[in-house]
Amino acid sequence: MKVQSNAYTLIYSAIVVLIVATCLAVFATALKPAQLKNIEIEKKQNILASVRIASDKTNVEDQYNRYIIDSYTLNTSGEKIQGIDPFLINLREELKKPLSERNLPAYICSRNDSAFLVIPVYGKGLWGPIWGYVSFMKKDSVAEGMPYYNTIYGVNFDHQGETPGLGAEITQSFFQIPFRGKAIFNEQGNFVSIKVIKGGADPGSGHEVDGISGGTITSKGLQAMLDTCLVAYEHYFKSAN
Amino acid sequence: MKHWKLLTNPLNDENPITVQVLGICSVLAVTVQMKPAIVMAASVIVVTACANLIVSLLRTTIPPRIRIIIQLVVIAFLVILVDQVLKAYLYDVSKKLSVFVGLIITNCILMGRLEAFAMNNRPWESFLDGIGNGAGYGMILIVLSTIRELFGSGSLLGYQVIPEGFYKLGYVDNGMMILPPMALITVGIIIWVQRGYNRKLIEK
């Protein structure tokens, strides 16, 4: 058969495509478990980092099993839902649903006799998604109508493609540490979230942190992310059972 | 060695970036830090070498009318493979490189070498040419990322090298260095330096 002929061209391309597709399918299937494991390890590391527990690839499983004692799926009334694994919830899809239909993941951490709640957050930065985990220390007793979970214990943020040196700085400790000790409810027990302030937060305020110079849109996106994600847990913060 | 020139020419006289000015997009994007740049360089070397080898082996059988498509299929196949391997074994680096591994497919250096060299030369020569051109690209990537990470973040491979005392004296990292415009200017400076000592590159 001539190399220039139509039949040869057709058969040749069909064979090439078949071979390439088979090879890729085999490789993709073979590498899939290792890839999923990486994603799981990263998620566990991020959850632990928000409760200020440092872990690396080798000890993350041990640390996670030791400190994260429970996890629930909640609805917006603060009740537990059975049958949905919180670890597998896709926050991006949940945020598209109306508030009352959302499944909310919550992780309970126990460390040095204190109980912590870890909540995943997901939102938009300048160039792509930003996400993270926020942890709260539980108060043993509170007045009627006041939240059990109010004070932030630690945060951990990550992003897909924010500008290096500007928006991408949300992953740095100088940005994350000021969140510690900030309250998301005011003295009257109303949800106020955390404001990320451009040009410097009021040092006396318990609800503000400094934004990032040159990363205004990322800072605003982060503020909106905290607001939309945390408000869904309001009933749970106050009932905590 | 008979084919020594195939390996060394792309490093200097026929450098894909500084002389042929190909593949600039990824050069600007992945050179903020050294580690992703090194992984990117290695990935491109693997893909150019293997793609050149495969296409050269197939060169007498490829129907001329669809040769570009076949070349692209080979490149795409290798790039997807590299991307999957990185995701499985170098997850944090693969996250930093994000779409740019996938974009090796559109890197003009690859198509250029396949069409200009591998289609007309024997497998062994093509393989060496692929390594040479990948290395020429990688070399610039590493030089550029060293400069950008040192002046942009004060570190090399993630380790702080500019002492804390300098910052106390008022030294500030150059924020421009981590943005693409300064990368382009730095490439320009590298080209300038190269032409400074390699006179035959200067057009009459």
Q: What is the pLDDT of residues A109-152, one digit of tens each?
A: 988 888 899 999 999 999 889 999 999 988 887 887 788 888 99
Judge whether B100 and B30 are in contact, CB under 8 Å: yes
Mean local confidence (pLDDT), A219-235:
91
B112-155 tens-digit pLDDT: 899 999 999 999 999 999 999 999 999 999 999 999 999 888 88
Q: How far apart are CA A107 and CA A123, in angstroms?
A: 19
pLDDT on residue B90: 87
Cβ–Cβ contact A10 with B under 8 A: no
Examine the pLDDT at B184 and tell me if it is beyond 70.
yes
pLDDT on residue A241: 65
Examine the pLDDT at B55 and tell me if it is beyond 90.
yes
Judge whether B122 and B79 are in contact, CB under 8 Å: no
- According to DSSP, the residues that pair with A123 across neighbouring strands are A130
pLDDT band at B189 (very low <50, low <70, confident <90, very high): very high
End-to-end CA distance of chain B: 32
Q: How far apart are CA B63 and CA B110, in angstroms?
A: 19
> At a CB cut-off of 8 Å and minimum separation 6, what does B10 contact?
B16, B129, B132, B133, B135, B136
Mean of all residue pLDDT scores within chain A = 88
The ipTM of this complex is 0.75
Which residue in chain B has the smallest CA separation from A23? B77
Tokens of B97: 């490189």
Residue with tokens 């600007």: B28
Cβ–Cβ contact A7 with B under 8 A: no
Of A9, A161, A165, the CB nearest to B175: A165
Which residue in chain A has the smallest CA separation from B97? A161
